[in-house]
A and B are shown apart, each in its own frame.
Chain A
Amino acid sequence: QPVLTQPPSASGTPGQRVIISCSGSSSNIGSNTVNWYQQLPGTAPKLLIYSTNQRPSGVPDRFSGSKSGTSASLAISGLQSEDEADYYCAAWDGSLSMYVFGTGTKVTVL
């Protein structure tokens, strides 16, 4: 079962800012970088943020990541309809010796 906890859902109107939280522990988020993946309906996940706050080439700067202690956050600024997707945080867990994913958050654009 997932060891990173996310809210099941988040929503906003176009143009709004949405923040998704990811809660972990000292063995994962607390001591390793965090990645975020976006999964559009019916498609494979796509790397959105790596190393906590870095965007791969092609990812709009509307997406940003941060972390504090054992929690991380993904912020989506200027929400757009195409941002409707599931979002997953992930990190290496040194105690479990495994890559762990968050529970996932479904973002809805109202």
Chain B
Amino acid sequence: QVQLQESGPGLVKPSETLSLTCSVSGGSINSNSYYWGWIRQPPGKGLEWIGSISYTGSTYYSPSFKSRGTMSADKSKNQFSLRLNSVTAADTAVYYCARRDGRDGYHMFDYWGQGTLVTVSS
């Protein structure tokens, strides 16, 4: 059974960088069958896709995050990460990491982490 677990600071100051890591167990991020993604949910609001990274390291970002976001993967640790620069209060949200089916046309996220709340405040 694949499990994902987000980790990182729960509090980030405005204008600083948000950094989160997703640890994957029960499966390899180096598998060509899957992509790995980040989705966030502001308190009381809906879901928002941030971006995805493939096993080759190719990254795909929502236009809303392309200028501020950076995703990377560490195959040796079976982890992938998200960095979001210049955060504001609007970036306060629960951040989820998730696994995406890698087949063309199958853009579903079938396994999710439990989520981690990141608050942006001074």
Give chain A's interface residues, CB within 8 Å of chain B: 2, 32-33, 35, 37, 43-47, 50-51, 56, 88, 90-92, 96-104
Give Cα A91–Cα B105 distance, bound, in whole angstroms: 10
Give chain B's interface residues, CB within 8 Å of chain A: 37, 39, 46-49, 52, 60, 62-63, 96, 101, 105-110, 112-115
Contact B115 A50 (CB under 8 A): no
Question: How many Å from the CB of A87 to the closest CB on chain B?
Answer: 11
Question: How many Å from the CB of B91 to the closest CB on chain A?
Answer: 16
Contact B105 A88 (CB under 8 A): no
Contact A46 B46 (CB under 8 A): no
Cross-chain pairs A/B with CB under 8 angstroms, 9 sampled? A35-B109, A43-B114, A90-B47, A90-B107, A92-B107, A97-B63, A98-B62, A99-B49, A101-B49
Q: What residues on A are CB-neighbors of B112 within 8 Å?
A: 44-46
When A and B form their complex, what is the total count of cross-chain residue pairs whose Cβ atoms lie within 8 Å?
A: 61
Contact B106 A101 (CB under 8 A): no
Give Cα A45–Cα B114 distance, bound, in whole angstroms: 9
- Give 8 nearest A-B pairs by CB, closest first: A99-B49, A50-B108, A44-B112, A101-B47, A35-B108, A92-B107, A98-B62, A104-B46
Give Cα A91–Cα B60 distance, bound, in whole angstroms: 15
- Can you name the residue of chain A whose Cβ is closest to the Cβ of B65? A98
Other-chain residue from A43, A47, A102 in contact with B110 (beta carbon distance below 8 A) = A47
Contact A50 B63 (CB under 8 A): no
Give Cα A46–Cα B48 distance, bound, in whole angstroms: 15
> Given A44-B115, A45-B96, are A88 and B46 neighbors across the interface (CB < 8 Å)?
yes
Q: What residues on A are CB-neighbors of B108 within 8 Å?
A: 35, 47, 50-51, 90
Give Cα A92–Cα B101 distance, bound, in whole angstroms: 13
12 additional A-B pairs beyond A50-B101, A98-B62, A99-B62, beta carbons within 8 Å, are: A37-B109, A44-B114, A44-B115, A45-B47, A47-B108, A50-B106, A90-B47, A90-B108, A91-B107, A99-B49, A99-B52, A101-B46
